[in-house]
A and B are shown apart, each in its own frame.
Chain A
Amino acid sequence: MPEPLLAIEHLRVDFPAVVAVNDLSLTMAPGDVCGLIGPNGAGKTTTMRAVSGLQEFTRGSVRVAGHELASEPDEMKRRLGFMPDFCPTYDQLTTMEFLEHFARAFDVPNRPKRIDDCLELTWLTDKRDSLCEELSRGMKQRLVLAKTLLPDPQVLLLDEPASGLDPLGRIELRKILLQLRDAGKAVLISSHILTELSGFCNQAAIMERGRLVKFGTIADLGQQMNARRMSVKWRGASEPALEILRNTNVKIIETAAAGATFDFAGETDALDELLKTLVVQGVRVSEWRGVGDDLEQIFLQSGAKELM
């Protein structure tokens, strides 16, 4: 079995009066993009800061490409890029100078070309001579991402990378992340906005109150799901439809004037059969869909709360 790019084992971080991260273990292979999901205060940022070496941890170990954080911090720093949830930039430097600063610090070979590549990757080439203070929030975010990518790290930790981006910026970010995934990087990306992560994460790690509630590939977690949340809407009277639902293997979560949300525990064929029964019994079904995508489904059934 190949060495995982990122291996976190039994990580624990203590703050006064609270265990911020408790016994967290996860591994990521090349090409893995893992969504670190959880409500505010779940411990996502603390986990990332601990993995990057900014936060002291009480127990556990962190290895990046086989290099242990505790014993080989310098080797690890060359292989790990951390993008915080805010944009630390030198406002009075140009974007080019800012990147040059970090390219020197990482001793990046062929500096000018690498800086150009990173500027191009983050669509900032035309801003190379602009002062950092003149950039919009989204541009700054992309600049910090470019800085993170400069040393070509094998593992990327992105803390709420899309928090300040407009819709176009989010689409651009998604494209960059897909490129990184295809380039064989391991990306751990935190967010409390699930739609941000949908579509390109192949792993999910759900945190609540410092604990990892669920971790695995989206496919595995989907299979583990014991129920699928569905939404149905109809035209006409509600009672016949609700009667059918009650008599089937579903748990009704919410009812509305002409619709309901329910959890269905069973195979896809059985779900199809339920729809057929509704239609055959004369219910005029106007909408039939799963609530959210895979990631949202997994999260909803993880037991974690308070997500945006």
Chain B
Amino acid sequence: MKLSENPIFITRQRLGHRSGVLAAVLIAALIGFCLLLGLVESLRDPAHSFKTPQEAGKFFYGWIVGVEILVIVIGGFSAIARAMTEDRKAGLWDSNRLTPMKPPQILAGYWLGSALREFYMAMALAGFGLLIVLLGRLPVFLWLGTQTLIASTALFFGLLGLLAGMAFQRSPGLLIFLGLFFVWPLTFLAPSRMLVDFLLPVYGIGNLFCDHPPEKDSYATDWHSPPDIFGLPIPPVALSLILQLVIGLFIWRALVRKTANPFQPLLLRWEAFALFGILFFSQHALLWDLWRGHFPDLAKVIKKFNEPETLLPIVHGGTLFIGGLLIFLASPQPEHVRVESLRLGFKNFGAIFSRSAVSLAIALAGAAAVALLTQFMFAPAKSWKIFLVAAANSAEIFLVLALLLEFCRLRHRRRALGFVALWLFVLCVMPFILAGVFSSEITARFSLLAPAFVALSNANECWPSLAGALLTHFGVIVVLFLGWRRQWKKLLESAA
């Protein structure tokens, strides 16, 4: 089915046009026109602060890019998520699912048809952007490259919008805006080293604006050179496009599966594992050039980034966040397992384990450890303790999350998330509070989060206290495992 014949696309187009696009497009055109006027004025007036036409062109085109991202990436995400949530609420999503349209056709209709107003606005801005690039005597490749990245990011965020539309009752546009607002400053910490800079794609755009080598030791050095994947340079635009494409494919598969049958899990276990592996091998590959496998001894100090030793703890934080999210998404609903048990007649604990997020947590911890090992592999004598603490701590955190989530879902049903938050607060935050109350640094190390962060940021750490913390956490896991096993057993008995 061609897109022009896709009923959902046609309907979304009609609905978009009926609610009015002209005013929105005119606003975008006026913004573009004002920026173009600004450039013309700065070129006409030699006393203006810009040294060259290129500098002025970059300044005004930078604004175009910013506004375009706001309109098509954030606005598009919000419009797609809103269209989905509204149709789901009205029952139209189900009506469309009951037609013989294939899930990809349904999704394509929403994906490409729900943000047409934002698309027209972006087109108007891109048109003025091209004029600014030409007038500022900038290379057309700057326009082409930035527009390609904006388009791919808009499509990528559109997929996220579909996902959000399926998961939430209301459009979470504000949520994503706030999320990006807080993530944004982080992207400037180590631009060529952080995966998020290529997914968003901050580095690709920034790199396109750096058209000549910067002065030595300037901050721009880190924006100019291409990123390295295990030491091999790769064009940043290509890296962004590849990453968005690969992750987008996983999201697309999840969406198709959910559209075909909303009762299936969002992520299959192998997908969660593969996604995690791709993300963290890419992240460690970007960092590899710093230590070249000899962590904590730096192979090359990056300019204007004075504390490279904070990079691994930041990456570790990201590992925990993404791993936790994947465990949450892949963790089965107990009711779903009960129904499956009724349908397939399984009663053994092995079947539960293979469906549970606990086995996934173990696999994710393994993948995280292997990815982390790339930073340590050539200096085992010096860094084996750091590696062991970091790997063991990641494994413990993933296991606690998986066990706790399933235990609370089984035990507390609808109130599960509240109890998960409570126990995570007790395990992760309380030790820090108690450390403050009793002025004892040791207490803080018993936080579930502490050992890996401490070991990765301070190579001369006191190991016995960290080992003690890890053993305590292991005890917590054993207790949780027993409770978790008991709850699953009860559920299986109820399915008999």
B90 near A88: Cβ-Cβ < 8 Å = yes
Q: A59-B342, A84-B91, A104-B5 are in contact. Are A93 and B99 (CB under 8 A)?
A: no
The B-contacting residues of A in range 127-156, CB under 8 angstroms, are 147
Taking CB atoms, residues of chain B closer than 8 Å to A280 are none
What residues of B have a CB within 8 angstroms of the CB of A84 in the complex?
91, 94
A contacts with B, residue count (CB < 8 A): 30
Q: Which residues in B have their C-beta under 8 angstroms from that of A15? A: 335
Whether, in the assembled complex, A288 has its beta carbon less than 8 Å from a beta carbon of chain B, the answer is no
Q: Which 5 A-B pairs have the closest CB atoms?
A: A88-B91, A105-B99, A104-B7, A56-B263, A105-B7
Residues 56-80 of A at the B interface (beta carbon under 8 Å) = 56, 58-59, 74, 77-78
Point out the residues of chain B lying under 8 angstroms from A53, CB to CB: 98
A58-B339, A101-B7 in contact; A88/B100 too (CB < 8 A)? no
B98 touches which one: A52, A97, A107 (CB < 8 A)?
A52
Q: Using CB atoms and an 8 Å cutoff, list the residues of chain A in contact with chain B.
A: 12, 14-16, 52-54, 56, 58-59, 74, 77-78, 82, 84, 86, 88-90, 92-93, 97, 100-102, 104-107, 147
Q: Is B343 an interface residue (CB 8 A)?
A: yes
Known: A58-B339, A88-B91, A90-B15. A105 touches B97 (CB 8 A): no
Q: Which residues of A contact B261 (CB under 8 A)?
A: 56
Q: State the main secondary structure of chain B at its contact with A.
A: helix
- Cβ of B95 under 8 Å from chain A: yes
| A90→B413 CA distance, assembly (Å) | 35
Docked-complex contact A77 and B7, CB < 8 angstroms = no
A88 and B90 alpha carbons, distance in the complex (Å): 5
In angstroms, Cα B12 to Cα A104, docked, is 14
Q: With a CB–CB cut-off of 8 A, which chain A residues contact B292?
A: none
Residues of A within 8 A of B94 (CB): 54, 84, 88
B10 at the A/B interface (Cβ < 8 Å)? Answer: yes
Q: Is the CB of B96 within 8 A of A105?
A: yes
Query: Which chain A residue shows the least CB distance to B17?
Result: A92
Known contacts A101-B7, A101-B10; decide if A14 and B100 are in contact (CB<8 Å).
no
With A14-B342, A56-B339 as contacts: A88 and B92 at CB distance below 8 Å:
yes
B18 at the interface (CB under 8 A from A): yes
Candidates B14, B95, B97; contact of A97 at CB < 8 Å? B14
Cα A96 to Cα B20 with chains together (Å): 20
B109's closest neighbor in chain A, by CB?
A: A105
Query: Which of A12, A78, A82, A104 has the most chain B CB atoms closer than 10 A to its own CB?
Result: A104
A59 to chain B: which residues have CB within 8 Å?
Answer: 342-343
Q: Are the CB atoms of A92 and B15 closer together than 8 Å?
A: yes
A92-B19, A97-B14 known; A58-B342 Cβ under 8 A: yes
Query: B284 near A: Cβ within 8 Å?
Result: no
Name the residue of chain A whose CB is nearest to the CB of B334. Answer: A16
Complex A-B: 10 CB contacts under 8 Å: A54-B98, A59-B343, A78-B100, A84-B91, A88-B95, A89-B92, A90-B11, A92-B15, A97-B11, A105-B101
For B97, B98, B261, the residue with the greatest tally of chain A CB atoms inside 10 Å of its CB is B98
Would A16 and B18 be within 8 Å (CB), given that A82-B98, A105-B96 are in contact?
no
Contact A93 B11 (CB under 8 A): yes
